[in-house]
Each structure stands twice: as structure tokens, then as C-alpha cells.
Structure 1
Amino acid sequence: MGNSCQKSCACLQSYMPWIFKACDCESKPTTPPEPTGPEPPPDQPPRIFVALFDYQARTDEDLSFQAGDKLEILDTSQESWWIARLLVKNGFARPGQNVQGYVPANYVAPYQSMEAEPWFFGPIKRADAEKQLLYPDNQEGAFLIRESESQRGEFSLSVWDGDAVKHYRIRRKDSGGFFVTSRKAFPTLNELVKHYSSSSDGLCIKLGKPCIKIEVPAPYDLSYQTVDQWEIDRNSLQLLKRLGSGQFGEVWEGLWNNTTPVAIKTLKPGSMDPADFLREAQIMKNLRHPKLIQLYAVCTLEDPIYIITELMRYGSLLEYLQNDGGSRIHLQQQVDMAAQVASGMAYLESQNYIHRDLAARNVLVGDHNVYKVADFGLARVFKLENENVYEAKHETKLPVKWTAPEAIRLNKFSIKSDVWSFGILLFEIITYGKMPYAGLMGFQVLQKLDQGYRIPQPANCPQELYNIMLQCWNAEPKERPTFETLQWRLEDYYDMDSTAYADASTFVR
């Protein structure tokens, strides 16, 4: 279903006020769009769903709703945008609100399903569960249930007791039901949660409120209109604030349709051929992962070309690291950054897609310490004046210090050359954005690499992390680790074995 792959990004709705029409508080809602797909067969019950998050309409045909609202789904013919009817009390909606319209499919879940429960977080990692439970707005007893990482079909209960996050395995009985300790089983997870919410009964603390879901997913597109036709009118965009600039253009914070905050990359005229770019962008738009920046739309009919993506308010990871300098970001956060990037790159690896320019400058930072890989695939469509990488003056055209030797000398780009670049990215993260190979020109770097030279271990870098860097810089590409391996090694960096799970039976009632 549409809610099976939720993305992490900044919450958009706080920037868009409710739109009220001149009417009293019990006015009938405006005319909704007609469904384009079939109604449910008369012998089937209505498809009732529950809103997981607030959503503010982006177009006149969208449907605004709030978390917890019930919706009848009328049309699911589009994968990412469905037509729904808001089920309102007494036949009246909120002032000025449609009761029927398009909704992002990843914002809703079937009514009374496990996915609709506020405490169910799906297949998130243990480390991510800890990060979300330690969010300051959570209170003692905050908890969540997630799918088990190691035991398929089983679940884990994670709870914050005020001092630390404890984890409990939830197992299934052969005869049916769920249990944390074998002496007490429950027919459903709801019953299990209800019991431990009234009594700790061996847990470290009685369950309190569900963990706050701090990462609100981004809809997969700007609207239902841009799913297939994603060349949009540049007049629908407002450029509000320049966020940065680079060799090929600028990045702006902008607004689409007067409703939706977006990022807009403006490319210098002549920096790429529109036809080449559109062929690559078609692939880029279909790459969807919580740790990849989502491409929304383009403007290619005139210069400058615009690339419209989701907005990450804190800019590039490089600047973020350099501005911090170690005052707030420490090793645990640095490992988390690297793990999130590895997660996005593991997805590209699974799709047989190559980034070609992985570096801290091409990772963006959002709210709640979310990091996403950006600009994947763009390197292959930029027009380079001269790709003679041995001339130092052209080093800025092809980033020698981030690029694997075989990619430079033989033009052999692969996911393994991306792994080499990831090792340099690790160096940037651990040194708070320092330049790799400081004091060396590009051609000198190549010469030294051929002689077996590698960046020395930074002073504040743990040996285990440096070992990962060295493995990424193996001279033989096939000997470098996969991104899948890098992801689990970084996610498991802080003791993720089974001893990290508490046993409820060991606690005194």
C-alpha cells in the first residue's frame, strides 16, 4: 500500500495556514472532485482509512485533514495520490474545507489496522527507535512497537524509562497470541499494549504515551498533477531565499503554488543539455527512499533549468559540519550521519544506480537530524569543458580528491567507485568538514595513491571507523565493501547484539 514506504523530512504543514472562506462555521463544504476510478463493489464494505499525520491541501482539488481523521477511500488508481472522502461528524466539515479530494497515499492507513496505531513504527532499526524515543518532547514511559530486525514476523517493544531506552522482544505463541514473558500472553498486540499501559508487570516502567512521530513523510510528488507531467510552469514558483551556490548554479528555498515549501536548484545556462537531463531525471524521479532527496518537478523549456526537490532547511552537510566544529555534534551523531547516508546509497546500489559525486556537499540536512543524499545522477549529465583530470586547473570539474582512481584514469564509474567516495565522506564527517589530502594538488593525490598512500587516521577517529575508511579505499574495487554492509556496520556500531534486549522475566514485579 501507499503507506509502506514512509519518508523522513521536515514537517510542511506548519508553514501553510488554513484557508477560510467567508462563511459561517457550519457552512457546507465546497464541491469535491469526482472519482476517476471505480467505486468499491456494493458487496464490499467501505474502504475506511485513518490519517496518520496532518496534511494541508496544496491545490484546490486536494483534501486537508488532521491526524486521526477517518477517510473513505474512493479511488486508488494512482499509486501515490488517492481520492478520499472525509467522514465528518453531523455532516459538517471544518470551515471552508472540502470533504472530498486527493490525499497522499503514504499519509493514511486502513482503519483498525496495526499500521494505524500511533505506537506502531513499522520496520525501523533499533538505533532509530532509540533516537526517536530520546526526542525531548517524549515523556517517561514513551514507547513504540517495531518489526523485529532479526526475527522475521516478530516484533520488538522499545520503551524509555526516563534514564535509558530498553528493548523487549515480543514473541508469538505456537497456538497464537503475543508475549513479552511466557507467563502471560495476549491475543493481539493491542491487548498487550493495554495491559502494560495499566501495569508495568515486569517491564522497567508502565507504558505511557506512544512515541512522538517526529519524521513526517514527504508526499512522493508535489501533487497528483505532477505524477506524470512534472514539467511545471516556472511562474508557479517563488524564489524566497538563496541557500547556497556552486559551480553549476544556485540553490534556493522557494514556494510552489503559494502553498508548498520546496528547494529549487537553478542551473547556469549551458551547464547541461535539457534532453540528456530529462532522460536522467526520469530515472531520478522514480528513485524513492527516506534517505534520498525526492525530485518533484523540473522547468527545462528555457534557461535557467530549474530542478525542484523537497526542502531540507539546514543546507549541506559540509557547511553543517564546518559551522559546528565539534561543539554539539559528537561521535554518536557522526556515526548516525554516516549510517543514514549508507542507507540511501544501499538503496541506489539495489537499483543498480551510481551517484558519481558522493561528498558531504551533496548530502543535505533536515529537521530532527535527518540526512539525505542529493544530486545523485547529475554528474553524468553536466557538460564538462575538459575532463583531463591530470590538469589541476580542471580539478573542480571532476572532484579528484573524492573520486576513485579507476574512475579518474579509466572513466570506470561503478557503485564501488561510490564506495571509495563514501570513505572520503567519512573523513569529512569525522573531521568536521576538513579538505581531504590537505596541501596536495589533484595530480599529486593520484601519484601518491598509486604508491599505496592513504589519508592518515585523523586524531579524533576511532580505529574501527578508520578501518572502514581503509576498506572503502581498497585499490581493488571488488574488495571494497557493499553499501549494504557499510549500512549495517554503522547502524550496529554501538553494540547491537541480542544482549541489548531486556528480559521482562528478570524484573521484580
Structure 2
Amino acid sequence: MGNMMRGVSDRDKHEKDTFDSSPNGLEDEMMVVLQDYPSPDISEPIFRMGEKLRIIAPEAYWWRVRSVQTGKENYIPNSHVARVYHGWLFEGVERQKAEELLCLAGNRVGSFMVRESTKERGLYSLSVKHRGVKHYRILRLDNSWYYISPRLTFQCLEDMINHYSDFSDGLCCALTSPCLSGVTPPSDASPVAPPVVMRRNFDWRKVDRGQLVGTESCSDNNMVSYGVRNSIASYLSFSGSQNKARTRAESRKKKSKSVYTVPNNGLANIDYEEDF
């Protein structure tokens, strides 16, 4: 397997050469939204943080994209997105933004991303969601092999990801899935509240006891719902059981008292205690 750094660089060069000549091929390019656009303070966002996009047509500072989740097409500033290769290699994502993305709902323990430095191309870090988010610097040898721990070196980043997906081997946990692979952005449609049915002018004094605990009155015309009747019946049954248990306990208590007759043989000074 060839060195991944060379593969990524060659791919970037090829993309720049083909942006104008074959725009249809750009739909295979994956991007992720780094922050809601536009800001919720301005209007309802068209694209939300963590949403996956495909490039339709890039321009100088604005790219026309299509949402993978919703299918919406629109323009977004290139400063609000980051390219994603292989599902886990995020281009130009800073540490804080990586933590925000990994903490989105849907990312589980072991979700990860490899992010390229925003300052120097070719420098990478591994970010992993655990109890928090852990970050590991990925270093390179003179022969361009990669490593996190010097005792384990890998010819390319893909080999490294494959290894740490099988074994934690010093990391906080084994890698499970790329960041955002299972995230579905919230729907724009607001949830519909369930209807509330109320009966006005309800007078408990007019309710017959049979309507509360009786099993024969289960028709729709009953003033008390089935749930209320069931709750009341359960309460009365529980209260009745407790009262019966208390009565039985008091009865046993009375029966267990021993009755003594003080003999006339000079032992009148002995104090006898009731035997419980």
C-alpha cells in the first residue's frame, strides 16, 4: 500500500486540474459543515454543523453544494466547510472544532478523525471521542512512515487507522467509526405537539363510585377515562391490602400476649413482662 500522503497530494492536484473540465465528478467530493450557515441569529440555517455535503460547483469563495441528508442544494462559503477524504481525514480542522464535531449526538465512544494541521500541510493529529476527546500527534520518520508511539510505525495513515481499529494499543480506546458517520442533523420541521383533550366543568361530586372502580362501565360515555379508573382502582386495592395487613398484625399482637395470674405463694414481688 502506497504512502497516503502522496496519494492525498496527487488527488488534490488532480482535483484542481479537473474542477473546470468535469464538474460532474465533483459530486463525489465530500465536505462537512463546520458551523451553521447562515447563523441562527440571522435566519433559519440552510446547512447545520456536522451536515455532510457534496460539491456541485466550486467558485472563488462560494461553493454550490448538495446536502447528503436532505438533498437541498444551495451556496455556502468555503470558510464554513472542510473537505473529508476516506471518511475520516478532515482537511484544515482545528482542535476545538474537532471536539465540537466529535461531541455531536450520534458519535459514539471510539469515533475519530484524522485532521490535517491548519498551519503546515502534511502534519496530522488523531482525535478520538472517549470520556472527553483525546488528541494524539501523528509524527513522521525520515522515510515518511507514520507513528504515534515510536514502537509502532506504519507505511501510511490507512494502515495506522486499520491497526488502531483492531487494538487500542496505548490509545484511550480502539477506534470504532469515523466522526459523523452515524450523525443525522436535526430536521427543520418542528415536532408536532400531541392534541390535548379536556373536559370542562368536571364535578367529582357527581361521579358515581361505580364509574371509578367498576368494570362494567367502560363505555365512551363514561366521565372518567380508563387510565384514571385504573389508577384509582389500584390505589384503593393497595390501601385495602394495607388495612387488612394492619388488622391481621394487630390481631396477632393481641393473641400473642400471655396472661399471668400472680400465685399466692409469696412470689408477688416478681414483675412479669408480656411476651411478644
TM over 0.5: no
TM-score (norm 2): 0.39
Q: TM-score scaled to structure 1, two decimals?
A: 0.24
